Amino acid sequence: MKTITAKAIHNSLPQEKIRQGSLFGALTDDCINFILKEGRILELAQGEKAFDSGDSGNAFFVVLEGSLSFVKLHNGKLYSTRDIGFGEEVGFVAMIALHNHAGYAVANCDSRVLEVTSDLFARIHENYPFDFGIITLNLARDMARNIRKLSNALVENSIKH
């Protein structure tokens, strides 16, 4: 795992493309630049983990390039529950619920992810209150989509009565 700068990510990922990610949709350039500058951008090799099961849930991770899989640990077994692509996040539920991570996020290929800590999330609220509202809506929308997908998977894999 290697940390890179916001400038390095802008060299390969222009602002217009970043804005297309679901977390960054409708945010101001100033707020996006603040998040990238103040967050930690990690380069993960295929198979490397952004976080592990049991780690503190004090941050969430946004995929900037590549993809991750979330693998949940439940009753001693591992279950891959979803893939996380460009602009999507993983770890927000643990952060907002004040829980440790219940699984791990692993890179499916060489990937770049942005770590947004709870401290940074609070500073976004303080410095960019309008954008913070948009980010909160974007995160809620993504959670709702994931709940729908997981709900459909439960129904599709349940035993009919």
Q: What is the pLDDT along the chain (161 residues), one digit of tens a residue?
A: 899 888 888 788 888 899 999 999 899 999 999 999 999 999 999 999 999 999 999 999 999 999 999 999 889 889 998 999 999 999 999 999 999 999 999 999 999 999 999 999 999 999 999 999 999 999 999 999 988 988 888 888 876 66
Is the distance from CB of 82 to CB of 152 less than 8 angstroms?
no
Using DSSP's 3-state secondary structure scheme, residue 55 falls into coil
CA 136 to chain centre: 13
